[in-house]
Amino acid sequence: MTGAHEQHPFLELIRRRVSAEGFDPARELDERTVRELVADATLAPSSFNIQHWRFVAVRHAADKRRLQAASHGQRQVADAAVTLIVLGDTRGVDRLPEIVERAVAAGALPPGKAAAWVRLARELYADPRTAREEVLRSCSLAAMLLMLSAEARGLAAGALTGFDADRVRREFEIDERYVPVMLIAVGYPAGPGAPRQPRLAVDEVLAFDRGRVF
Amino acid sequence: MTGAHEQHPFLELIRRRVSAEGFDPARELDERTVRELVADATLAPSSFNIQHWRFVAVRHAADKRRLQAASHGQRQVADAAVTLIVLGDTRGVDRLPEIVERAVAAGALPPGKAAAWVRLARELYADPRTAREEVLRSCSLAAMLLMLSAEARGLAAGALTGFDADRVRREFEIDERYVPVMLIAVGYPAGPGAPRQPRLAVDEVLAFDRGRVF
């Protein structure tokens, strides 16, 4: 199995990807490309198909500078053509009745299953901590797809988690129901990327059958 | 730009991927494949290169049944050839001095930058909530890569977050410093996958320049 698939272009893609630090500030991204990146991100798996993820695309120079100021001055936020604020909707489950209705209409969900699905999800995410943690999970899954989609499209992307979430919310008029989970700077790379940081070996992070202190 | 890249096999990969529900329980995964999946997962971006992710591969029938019992009886946990418990090390930063030492030795990090990097990361992750939230983020990024790697290798994978974390920790002798973030069932697909759940349209999840109530 492995031999035949070892050459899948996806494996080459993830091996060459590094977090971008340098962007060509002269090259913009058109709105269509931003929409395609977001569409790809929404193909991530999603608990109950709630799709907690939301995105604000920051593209104008003055806005990017304000976002940079809320991100400890990290340059890539302003140099990138677009920096996406990845938001998680802590009240995402409120939209689930509509989502399952569409799924039933599309034949993707048996009608008899829909009501129980909504009920179970509502119970689970009534707890604010559970909702917040699921938001971090599902938005991060989507963020990974977005970064890979950028790489596949000849762009570069870099995730940042060092920012002042309250300030980002204030500056970009983001309702408090949304948690800013991550920033993703996307643009055309300027020169070669940063060197890849060496990773821990597989044996340092993987155990079989039982846990251990790694 | 977009036209030329629209055919990248990655885009085809993410469009065909669905969360697997049915696995062929008769087909096992060899240890080498599990190691390759984990190696691919560790290529995810990582804050300060801390690599909070750890993995326990559950492969024996009796163990998988115990894991299933801790996961509301969800069948795919036991039917999959291997179910991975994705763990996040809330004390991951403790390993950073060694990680940066290796990066300096590999020429991937300037020696002058290493000490400040460790100091800053320690400050940031001294707060347990920040550490826990970063663990959820970075393990989810790695989990997405792992699922895509499985798909690229002709396997199927499905993530589960509905499980009793304390029970999983107990049953699999997992130290309390590790947060069980997600389970990923991996194996050979049995028949066609579940239908893809329709996603919200891009306009329903994307705003330009300023936030809004989506």
Instruction: Confirm or reject contact between B133 and chain A (CB < 8 A).
Output: yes
pLDDT in tens, B96-147: 999 999 999 999 999 999 999 999 999 999 999 999 999 999 999 999 999 9
pLDDT at B59 over 90: yes
B197 part of a folded domain: yes
Domain that holds residue B76: 16-94+128-205
Q: B201 vs chain A: nearest CA distance in angstroms?
A: 8
Nearest to A214 among B54, B103, B147 (CB): B54
pLDDT-derived band of residue B10, with 50, 70 and 90 as boundaries? confident
Mean pLDDT of B20-48: 94
Contact predicate B38/B146, CB 8 Å: yes
Quickly count: other Cβ atoms within 10 Å of residue B189's Cβ: 18
Q: Going by C-beta distance under 8 Å and a sequence separation of 6 or more, which residues neighbour residue B87?
A: A211, B53, B54, B55, B56, B139, B174, B178, B179, B180, B181
Cβ of A161 within 8 Å of Cβ of B200? The answer is no
**H-run or E-run covering A202:** helix A202-205
pLDDT in tens, A95-106: 999 999 999 999
pLDDT-derived band of residue A123, with 50, 70 and 90 as boundaries? very high
Instruction: Confirm or reject contact between B33 and chain A (CB < 8 A).
Output: yes
pLDDT in tens, A130-140: 999 999 999 99
A196 part of a folded domain: no
Give the span between the Cα atoms of B152 and A21, in whole angstroms.
28
Q: A190 vs chain B: nearest CA distance in angstroms?
A: 16
Domain harbouring A51, CATH code: 3.40.109.10
Cβ of A210 within 8 Å of Cβ of B172? The answer is yes
A78 part of a folded domain: yes
Give the span between the Cα atoms of B18 and A72, in whole angstroms.
38
Instruction: Confirm or reject contact between A14 and chain B (CB < 8 A).
Output: yes
B8 part of a folded domain: no
Its pTM stands at 0.96
First-residue to last-residue Cα distance in chain B: 29
pLDDT at B16 over 50: yes
Q: A180 vs chain B: nearest CA distance in angstroms?
A: 11
The reported pLDDT for the residue numbered B164 is 97
The reported pLDDT for the residue numbered A1 is 45
Total tally of structural domains belonging to chain A: 1
Q: A206 vs chain B: nearest CA distance in angstroms?
A: 5
pLDDT at B155 over 50: yes
pLDDT in tens, A69-108: 999 999 999 999 999 999 999 999 999 999 999 999 999 9
Cβ of B54 within 8 Å of Cβ of A102? The answer is no
Nearest to B60 among A143, A145, A209 (CB): A209
User: By CA distance, what is A182's nearest residue in B?
Assistant: B137
The reported pLDDT for the residue numbered B3 is 55
A96 part of a folded domain: yes
A203 part of a folded domain: no
A214 part of a folded domain: no
Mean pLDDT of B51-75: 97
Give the span between the Cα atoms of B57 and A50, in whole angstroms.
28
